[in-house]
Amino acid sequence: MESQDRRAARTRRWLRSAFLELVLQKPYEEITVQDITDRADTARITFYRHYRDKEELLLDCLEGLYEELSQHLPEISLESASDPNGTAPILLLYRYLDENFQLYRTLLGGPVGALVERRLRQYIAEAAISAISAIRKDVQAETLNVPLDVLASQIAASFMGMILWWLENDRPYPMDYLARVSHWFVMMGSQGILGLPHALTPPSLHS
């Protein structure tokens, strides 16, 4: 049973890798299941044992991204959240998108852009909920001025808007600076809810 599980995981890795390679070479809407299985050197029936269609394969690729990033999220405290020039947790996502710039610019600008954006926004919202819980361990969700899921959704929308602008404009500023600016905007908007210091200074472009 364990060998079968390893074989299935290996097959899914091959299919994901083949699909992502193809996305960089041709429009998403033109990629067929046959293209994917040819690139992965496997059979169509094998593809359908694991995925219903290429959209489900795309979602699996995004799930893999979230799992990988969530394993490396740093611990967050009130002090680190308030430091304008510290390492912003969102930097992990910026770094990943920078390393895979062409792939995500292609995906976000294509017919599945709304799907990819929605999933990334959901992931950021989930990470925000974890971060808020870490920053304010003594605060129960029901004591916040707004519901926790509403706050997390607003934070995710703010981060996602900055990320999309950065990608669409060919990364005009360094990713570490944009990550800190994004974090600062979010903290400024949330300081009353989270009890953060009021004197939050903006990050320096040259720090």
Q: Per-residue pLDDT tens for 96-122?
A: 889 889 988 888 888 899 989 998 899
Alpha carbon dihedral 158, 161, 167, 168, in 10-degree steps, equals -160
**What average pLDDT does range 191-205 have in this prediction?**
63
C-alpha to C-alpha distance for 136 and 196, rounded to whole angstroms? 10
Indicate if the pLDDT at residue 20 is higher than 70: yes
CATH topology of domain 2-54: Arc Repressor Mutant, subunit A (1.10.10)
Confidence of residue 78 (pLDDT cuts 50, 70, 90): low
Q: Which residue has the higher pLDDT, 4 or 9?
A: 9
Distance CA 126, CA 149 (A): 9
* Residue-level pLDDT at 195: 60
Kindly report the average pLDDT of the chain as a whole number. 83
Asked if the model's pLDDT at residue 138 lies above 60, the reply is no
pLDDT at 206 over 80: no
d(CA 112, CA 97): 17
List the alpha helices (DSSP H) in the chain.
2-23, 33-40, 44-50, 54-70, 78-82, 91-99, 101-108, 113-135, 148-168, 175-194
pTM of the model: 0.78
Q: Domain locations in the chain?
A: 2-54, 72-194
**Buried-exposed string 129-162: b where 16+ CB fall within 10 A, e elsewhere:** bebbebbbeeeeeeebeeebeebbbbbbebbbeb
The yes-or-no verdict on residue 14 having pLDDT over 70 is: yes
How far is residue 64's CA from residue 70's CA, in Å, rounded to a whole number?
Answer: 10
Mean pLDDT of 9-32: 93
**24 phi, psi to nearest 5 deg:** -80, -10
Maximum mean pLDDT: which of 1-5, 101-105, 184-188, 189-193? 101-105
